[in-house]
Structures are given as C-alpha cells and as structure tokens.
Structure 1
Amino acid sequence: MAQYRRVRIPSLLALSVSAGLVLTATACGSDKKDDSSSGNGGGSGTPVVVATTAWEGAFAKAAGIKDVKVIVPQSVHHAPDYDPKPSDLAAVAGADFVLYAPFEPYASKIKDAAGSKAKLVEVNLDNDADKAVAEVVRLGKLFGTQPAAAQWKTSFDAEYAKLKQDVKSAWPGGKAPVVVAQVFSTWSAKLAGADVVGTYGPEAVTAQQLAGLSKKKPALVLDNAHMSTGKVLPDSGAKQIEIVNYPDKDMDLLGVYRKAAADVKQAMVG
C-alpha cells in the first residue's frame, strides 16, 4: 500500500506563468541544464518519464527508464512542505508520461499548470513482491521497454529469494518470528517469513487496539518509517523496526528490500 505524501500547490496560476517564462527562455537558446532533469527518458527510443516521487521513479527505472525526472526531491522528508518550482513544470511540459499515486491529487494539477499533453499514469505503490513485479511488467509494456522490465524481474526474483533465505537463517530457534505490522509494512513481514498476528494503522491506534496487540506477545513490531507515531507497544518487550518504503536517491527498488531484510535480521540476531 502507499503512503500519504502530498505536495501543496500554492498558486497554480503563478506557477503556470513562471513555467511559461522558463520554457520561453529555453526556446531562446539557453543551454543550462538541471542535473535532476536531463529529460531524455532512458535513451534513444524510450519515452520521457516524470514521477511525482522517488517511489514512482523507482518503478519506472525498474521498468527500463534509465533517466527519470522526480518532482519531489529526495532531500524533502516531508513532501507536503515542498512547493513545485517552475523547472518542475517545465519538465512535466516535455514529458510523455507523468507517474503518480492515487493519493496524490496534485499530479493532474501540475500537469494542467504546465500545459502538458503527457499521459497520466497511476502507479500502484505497493512493495509486496508479487504486486511490485506485476506493476513493473505493466509499466514496461506501457513504455515499450518490455525486455528491460523482464530482465529486472529475473534479477529481482533471484535476489528476493536470497534475501528471504538469509532472513530465515536468522530466525531465533529456527522458528518464524511473531510480529505485529503497520498495514503498509506487511510486505516486509512476508519477506521475513514472519507470523503476522496483528496489524494497525493507518489511523491512530486506540488504547483498546494496543491492548489487543500486546496480548499477541509479538517479538517484533514492523512500523512504517514514513508514518511513525513513536513506540507502538512500549511495554510489550517487542523490538520495533522502522520499515522504509521509499528508495534512496539512486531509485533502486531492490535496495528497499535489501534494507528491510538487513534491519529485520539485525533485530532478530541482536
């Protein structure tokens, strides 16, 4: 499942005017380039893709787009604080596809403000392995990069299997750990082969829910780093792990699984 990250659009009219000035300057021969928006898709014959966040960008990269422009910078930890710049609108104006998540209503507004004719593509941001692979394959067909998407799938399947086995080797006493997971972190429990005895979120957890989860006696709590409200079961003795859904700035989707596997394994052996 996806995380709720929103970007405020303070003045679409003002941004539209600014974007027009940027595009005009470009047309007049400006040769300056923004390192974050080289805008050549993935090379000759591939479409130009703009993604609202690095998560959508990682799916596009896995599907075969080597160069993806991301609207919200990796350095912005709280996306709602980010205001799109004229250069963002200029990038969207030249895109073939704009990738967004259904909880990001600003995507269509950005596209309209930039006057773009790009195709809006809703991405299912779910790191469940089966769903992630299916989404990458779907995007590969959409972009016309099926061979690259198929190659990524092969690499992913092999590494995911190794990661699962590595985490399993660290099971205490050879038994699957009993865990409680935030609803958007259950994919990491699946990766760990854990026994999920309860979930919580995305709404605030009530005292009654906490009491019920504590009675399950979990060894681990797989929290959502992007929506964490602190210690979930502070008196249960369970170790809490902050599961990260978003990739690093390299937009390597596999890196998300590597980190989750390493963090869960460390918690079990530590």
Structure 2
Amino acid sequence: MKFKKAFMILLIICLLTLAVIGCSNNTDEITGADETLKDLEEASIVASTSWTALMAEAAGAKNVTIIAPVELKHPPEYDFKPSDIKKIQEADWVIMAGYEAFMNKIIEANNIDQEKIIRVKTTNTYDNLVEQTKIIAEKINTVNLQQEWVSEFSNTMDVIMEKSKEGNVSDIRVLVHTHLAAYTKSLGYDVVEVYGAEELSPAKIGELAKLQPDLIIDNYHNPQGIAIEELSGAKRVELRNFPGVEQESLVDLMIYNAKLLNIY
C-alpha cells in the first residue's frame, strides 16, 4: 500500500509538472506573437521628407515621423533643429535618400548607428517604388502589408497607363526637368530633351525653345521652364516629386500628377 501511495503521489507530481511546462510554452508562444505585433505597431520610424515617409507607409510602417516639414517647397534645403537630432537618435529606423544635406549632417555629427539607416532611391516610377518599398518592408518585417499596397498601387497605375495610351502620349513631344525624366519616360511620352537641374543660361533656354515642344514638364520644387514656356509658347505643367499636404499616399501623388497631365 505504501508503494502504491508513493507511486500515485509521484504520478500526480509528474502530471502537474507537465501541465506547468505545457502552459509555460504556450504562454511563451503567445507572448512572442504579441511582442512581434507590438514591435511592428510601435517601431518608431523617422523619414527625412514626405517622399521617404510615404514610401515607408507604403511598405507597411505605422509609426512614421517626418523631419522636413511637408509644407516646404524644396524639403532637401531644410535647416534642422535640435529636436530633430533627438528624433533620429531615438528612432528604431531612419529612412532617407542620401541627398538630404540636413540628414547627412545630423548622422555624421551624432554618430548615428548605420545599421538602422535605410537608404532608398526616390524616383516615382512603378518599378522603382515597388522595389524600394519592398526593401523597406524586408527591413522592418512588413512584407505582407507591402504586398497589399502593391496590389492597390498596381490597379491605379494600370488606369494611368491605359489613359496614357488613349491620350496618345507617345505622340506628344516633351521637354522635361531632369528630376521628372524617368517618370515621364515611364508614361510613354516622347522626351525630346531633358533640362536642369543646373541654372539654365539664356543661350540654353533659347536652344530648348527652338525645339518647339508640345509640352514642358517642369519640377514644382525647382521650376526652370518658365522662360522656355514664354519663348516657345508650349504648355507647361509643374509636377511634384515630394508629396504635399494633400497627397496622403504615393497613390494620391501619382493620381495628382496624372490629373495635371490629363491622363487620369
């Protein structure tokens, strides 16, 4: 009887031990999943400009702070404040293009960890935006969200490209600012010359005007085609690279520019 009683006690202890271990493992799994979700939602991301910020959001980022104010006409010229340094120091990730002088100064002067900096190429073409947002998503572990965005973005671009074909943009001879050249070519326009970003001399302006373009696609952030417009009589539009207050997503930005070109 004593042996049987001892055996039963030992059996109960073993069962209780297994139950505790099982509960402990399940709790760890649940806690781990919750922490992963929490990390995705709370990871702080600092973006240099509205452009890189919307790229981050397209990649699935939820907690994004922009350094250069959205209202600035030319964000790369932003003069940073001490509070901006703190934001970058405390961020989990920093997203920038590389040409933002204020970002380079902050990073170099404050020994910012290079491992948390994600450098992207800012060109508003379909292929590039899909590629760059994927790079961000792979870093911050939001690939599924980026893929959802790609689906929406693809639908919008399909409409724009179809409208471009209907509008026979391939027959429209265009002078385009260098920072919008890749975008313009991706839409199918006949780009006869690219100008800027250096200051245009009177001789160069005259040379460009003589090309008699049908359209001048200028850069809103640094317009240089006004004199060409006056000499040639061609229509001129100013498109955005950096999203403004009214463009809350990259999709909004693409639609905004397409509407100015009458292809949406």
Same fold (TM over 0.5): yes
* Number of the residue aligned with 2:29: none
Question: Which residue pairs with 1:260 in the alignment?
Answer: 257
Instruction: State the AA in 2 paired with 1:132.
Output: L
Q: Measure how far apart 1:96 and its partner are.
A: 1.2
2: CA distance, partners of 1:148 / 1:99: 18
Counterpart-to-counterpart distance in 2, 1:175 and 1:78: 30
Which TM-score applies when normalising by structure 2? Answer: 0.75
Assess if the C-alpha contact under 8 Å between 2:206 and 2:231 holds in 1: no
Distance between the aligned counterparts of 2:163 and 2:76, measured in 1? 37
* Residue type of the alignment partner of 1:155: E
| Equivalent position SS for 2:123 | coil
Query: C-alpha offsets along residues 106-153 of structure 1, whole Å, 9 cap, x if unaligned?
Result: 324324666754712222111122112111111111111111111111
SS in 1 for 2:38: coil
Q: Of 231, 237, 240, which residue of structure 2 is paired with 1:241?
A: 237
Q: Is the 8 A contact 2:177 2:197 kept in 1?
A: yes
Is 1:224 paired with 2:219?
yes
Q: Structure 1 residue 63: deviation in Å?
A: 0.6
Distance in 1 (alpha carbons) for counterparts of 2:194 and 2:78: 31
Aligned to 1:30: none
Does the CA-based 8 Å contact 1:52-1:70 persist in structure 2?
A: yes
Alignment match, 1:33: none
State how 1:70-109 maps to structure 2 within 5 Å: 70-79=66-75, 82-109=78-105
Q: Give the number of the structure with larger relative contact order, counting CA–CA contacts within 8 Å between residues 6 or more apart.
A: 1
- TM normalised by structure 1 equals 0.73
Task: Measure how far apart 1:86 and its partner are.
Answer: 3.8
Aligned residue in 2 for 1:44: 38
Match of 1:69 in 2: 65
User: Which residue of structure 2 aligns with residue 56 of structure 1?
Assistant: 52
Moved segments of 4+, more than 6 Å: none
Q: What is the CA-CA distance between 1:75 and the residue it aligns to?
A: 2.3
Helix, strand or coil at the partner of 1:179: strand
Q: CA deviation at 1:216?
A: 2.6
**C-alpha distance in 1, partners of 2:95/2:250?**
15
Q: Distance in 2 between matches of 1:211 and 1:78?
A: 27
Query: Displacement, 1:74?
Result: 1.2
Tell me the residue number matched to 1:124.
Answer: 121
Question: Where does the alignment leave 5 or more consecutive residues of structure 1 unmatched?
Answer: 1-42
Q: 1:110-259 counterparts in 2 under 5 A?
A: 110-111=106-107, 117=113, 119-171=116-168, 176-229=171-224, 231-233=226-228, 234-249=230-245, 251-259=248-256
Considering only aligned residues, what root-mean-square deviation do their CA atoms show, in Å?
A: 2.6
Change (3 A) 1:108 1:207: closer
* Count of matched residue positions in the alignment of Structure 1 and Structure 2: 223
- Of the two, which has the highest radius of gyration? 2
Provide the residue aligned with 1:24 in structure 2. none
Q: Which moved more, 1:178-187 or 1:81-90?
A: 81-90
Q: CA deviation at 1:87?
A: 3.3
Q: Percentage identity across aligned positions?
A: 28
Larger helix proportion of the pair: 2
Q: Is the 8 A contact 2:78 2:102 kept in 1?
A: no
Cα gap change, 1:235 to 1:113, in 2 (>3 Å):
closer
Secondary structure of 2:171's partner?
coil
Question: Which amino acid is the alignment partner of residue 83 of structure 2?
Answer: S
Query: Corresponding residue for 1:29?
Result: none
Classify the secondary structure of the residue corresponding to 2:121. Answer: coil
Structure 2 CA distance for aligned equivalents of residues 218 and 108 of structure 1: 38
